[in-house]
A and B are shown apart, each in its own frame.
Chain A
């Protein structure tokens, strides 16, 4: 058909806007600018291991982990039910599941402000019901809630797509061979759904780890996660070296999770991703 020269604009574009920026991040991460000029150094990475920043990393990892676990516990049953025979119009159902994601995530997060604030929807409802009010806005609970809300579909969709492809014959065979319902799940269904689970975990964990908007809006101004730290370094402090170093740590996390993902998915990556 056409020669591969059609690719040239894209190759140039990629080089300028994807490769070069990545290299610049690496460059800034490994250099320190002093009044005498800039030198190669690992100082930026060393700084990251100061207690104050380690605490930020730890908190980000913990919140992302908690959110991921909650998403998995909430989402796996949803995926299983949808893949089962409780509903007939599955396509419509999955569409309904995706629709909330079409709303700008910023506005979706903002919506929780309306619900959680002191005189918000939730407290009005609780007062009407004669229950005590709860104030979780600007706490880590609110941040986790925001993450679960925003990322739950990313857990459900990959698991659903794997579960719905499982050969029903395999499950029947397990039953015929004497496995009870629990055994069928732990020995057959769950292991077979593992690729979906892994990709779901990655797709929830990574954005949860790097978010700065959810923590800013629902955690309040003082709440710092690793994403907020990066944002501050670039927009407030102006310390690009340190900001780049943190970003590189992020990239390493992504590469790791991608490696894990492709390990579980084998050669089929392209097909399952799209």
Chain B
């Protein structure tokens, strides 16, 4: 009986969490502009969405910024993780604390501080500033995804490679990098997701003419309800969902491998596995 009530309670909370998304998606297929009526199933809003120049341009910028920012952040972040892993003492602590700043700061503070920097340095707000801002908030997540992989790494692996005749370069590229690759890929996917999900930081660091899907959706939503936003939301949700399912499957596979492995190291790669206390809280500091 208690179990039954417990289950009911959790299901109710799930209804609360999923109902708005379901309603939103349902209305994207509603062939009637007014909410009050169900005018039958239609794909009209999707068709209109793809003909909308503003939305298509925003989509282009969203994807371009997402790809560029996550790539650059992955390179800088992975190198940083290698460096941090090998540093010790107060230096390491200081760098880690600074790394946490963009993660813990509310987005609006990160956003206005970057905006001040760009205006102060007389950089015209636009594509470049948007890209720089995205790289900045992405790097910490890459670092936090790669570091656990480095910690799991067997210290003697590198030495073994050298003993077996590899040059330091070979040992690094052929032994170390493949070992930490899962962390790098997870970090990159995470960065990409955060990038296309971001609104607040983009809103403050972009200039006229360059806007992402979130910004376009916001300016449309401010003017009231528009079925095209529903269609857009549905597409974005499905897209991000697919991406994150990929991330999760990867991590699960990693964990299985970790359990099966001889040292039984518990996989603790940062990211979306449900055991972790705070998936993705960075984006939500709005």
Q: B-contacting residues of A (Cβ < 8 Å)?
A: 1-11, 13-14, 16-22, 24-25, 28, 74, 77-78, 81-82, 84-87, 90-91, 93-108, 110-115, 117, 119-121, 124, 149-154, 157-158, 161-162, 196, 199, 203, 206-207, 209-214, 216-217, 227, 230-231, 234-235, 240, 243-244, 247, 250-251, 254, 258, 270-274
Contact = CB atoms under 8 A, between A and B. Distances in A.
Contact of A211 (B115, B236, B278, B286): B286
Contact of B221 (A11, A110, A121, A161): A110
A18 B230 contact: no
B158 A86 contact: no
A10 B77 contact: yes
Contacts of B240: 102-104
Interface stretch (B44-52, B106-114, B256-264): B106-114
B139 A10 contact: yes
Contact of B105 (A4, A124, A254): A254
B139 A13 contact: yes
A9 B76 contact: yes
B109 A17 contact: no
29 contacts: A1-B172, A8-B83, A10-B77, A13-B135, A17-B114, A18-B98, A22-B113, A81-B10, A94-B274, A100-B21, A102-B197, A102-B280, A104-B217, A104-B236, A104-B237, A105-B197, A105-B284, A108-B21, A120-B35, A161-B277, A203-B278, A210-B107, A210-B285, A212-B200, A235-B204, A244-B116, A247-B109, A247-B113, A273-B278
Nearest to A257: B104
Given A18-B101, A207-B106, A244 B80 contact: no
B281 interface: yes
Given A10-B139, A14-B98, A274-B144, 4 more contacts: A25-B113, A98-B279, A104-B197, A274-B270
Contacts of A85: 3
Given A9-B76, A10-B139, A74-B13, A105 B283 contact: yes
Contact of A78 (B13, B115, B199, B268): B13
Contact of A110 (B13, B35, B108, B217): B217
Contacts of A157: 276-279
Contact of B10 (A2, A11, A82, A153): A82
Majority SS at the chain B contact face: helix
Contacts of B85: 1
A217 B158 CA distance: 54
Interface of B: 3, 6-7, 9-10, 13-14, 16-21, 23-24, 27, 34-36, 76-77, 79-80, 82-87, 95-96, 98-99, 101-102, 104-110, 112-117, 120, 132-133, 135-136, 139, 143-144, 148, 158, 172, 176, 193, 197, 199-200, 204, 214, 217-218, 221-222, 225, 229-230, 232-233, 236-237, 240-241, 244, 248, 268, 270, 272, 274-281, 283-286
Contact of A114 (B35, B139, B280): B35
A244 B200 CA distance: 16
A113 B220 CA distance: 13
A124 B76 CA distance: 52
B83 A77 contact: no
Please give me the 9 A-B residue pairs with the lowest Cβ-Cβ distance, nearest first: A7-B83, A94-B274, A10-B80, A21-B113, A111-B20, A210-B106, A6-B79, A111-B24, A86-B6
Contacts of B158: 1
A90 B36 CA distance: 39
Contacts of B272: 98
Given A103-B237, A107-B233, A110-B24, A7 B105 contact: no
Contact of A98 (B23, B112, B274): B274
Contacts of B19: 115
B3 to A, nearest CB: 5
B84 A81 contact: no
B237 A119 contact: no
A152 B13 CA distance: 10
A157 B275 CA distance: 8
Given A82-B10, A105-B283, A149-B16, A6 B105 contact: no
A8 B87 CA distance: 12
Contacts of A243: 112
A273 B225 CA distance: 38
Contacts of A103: 21, 233, 236-237, 240
B234 to A, nearest CB: 9
